[in-house]
Structure 1
């Protein structure tokens, strides 16, 4: 897809590097700028009437998140997922998010528990409205996993999972094929994880989170085998 196509995420005039960064992140995550697409600095600079300095800064930020990669003699392109890269990502995610769930069960506040319960209620309504065809794809405070990671109070985990890995995971979640039963399965698993955290059961929270992410990894492996 041409980067210069119209988009609902188009930044306002006189946009700065932060707005360009947000635009590029969301356009890549939701597939508007397709995996493997070339990132053209002259094209983007002309489109948004910005100098190359802020634009290059935005591209470097997105590159730092792993959403853009530089290929020798080719230039900057949107990241593509190889089977190995994707499975490696989920293996790291399983370990780190399991730890985050354990810490959240220990450290989460009552206010955060209420907020997490509201997130699940929102997700449940979305699944009902979509007749079980899709999960609620949001980020930040509306993302169940994100909320748990933040509640872990561990800055290293937060930096890794909410920074370096977060948007790569969002990109795959947006663009991956899903079985029709998975949204309901995912919601049920989230509810069990929530109850373990609410009950301050650290061991159970970690086990359920690891099992939840392992289930997603197994689905990915099956999808990869089916396309071979």
Structure 2
């Protein structure tokens, strides 16, 4: 990773660290040293400190008293718990907002699902699904109108699937399975049955959490 310019701010330091997590330069459990980062990026420690606070809110960094800041390490149980929570929250929130989704929203979701299908059929890199998945859930959240739910859902699963364990996330399902999983949500939304929609989204998350939990640092026991 190249140095960033002095006039940049904490959000760019956030991007730098996230990029490092994705590339494996910041491994789960590794210490993030403010002084070392400040020297490497040729900036003061203030924006780095702010960036670490932002990343802590997103669940990517943990602070250990008298020890410092570390990239989050997750146990299998923590992964399952996170996806369980995300599924409960997003499922209930989307179901409650069901009547607020417009034809344009549905069309947008269907377009994304068709793009997923195209990736599956052309055998394009499965990493391409990450952007589509973000857009898909972005449309679902666009009608929820509850910042707290969004923040909690984002913290529960986004950091895990898109950063901390991204290299495992892209191996959880085949391209065709990813397409089918998202198609089920669109069909559930069109069915106009809030209970069925809530259950579909919750099951979507529960299955992901179950599969992702195998990449935790311990063995989850019931």
- TM bucket, shorter chain: 0.7 to 0.9
2:12 matched residue in structure 1: 19
Please give the secondary structure, in 2, of the residue aligned with 1:138. helix
Number of aligned residue pairs: give it.
Answer: 220
Name 1:3's counterpart in structure 2. Answer: none
Alignment gaps of 5+ in structure 1: 1-5
Aligned counterparts, 1:118-157, within 5 A = 118-130=111-123, 136-138=129-131, 142-157=134-149
Q: TM-score, length-normalised on structure 2?
A: 0.82
Q: 1:134 to 1:199 in 2, by over 3 A?
A: same
Contact 1:96 1:157 in 2 (8 A): yes
* Separation (CA, whole Å) in 1 of partners of 2:153 and 2:34: 29
Alignment equivalent of 2:53, drawn from 60, 80, 97: 60
- For residues 21 and 202 of structure 1, the distance between their equivalents in structure 2, rounded to whole angstroms, comes to 37
CA displacement at 1:45 relative to structure 2: 0.8
Alpha-carbon distance, 1:174 to partner: 1.1
Residues 180-223 of structure 1: per-residue CA shift (max 9 Å, x gap):
75432232121021022134332221121112222223334566
- Contact residue 30 and residue 174 of structure 1 kept, 8 A: no
CA contact (8 A) 1:102 1:202 kept: yes
Contact between 1:15 and 1:48, CA under 8 Å: does it hold in 2? Answer: no
The alignment partner of 2:70 has SS state of strand
The CA RMSD over aligned residues, in Å, is 3.1
Higher RCO (C-alpha under 8 Å, 6+ residues apart): 2
Partner of 1:93: 86
TM-score, normalised relative to structure 1 = 0.80
Distance (whole Å) between structure 1 residues aligned to residue 107 and residue 34 of structure 2: 44
Inter-partner Cα distance in structure 1 for 2:172 and 2:51:
37
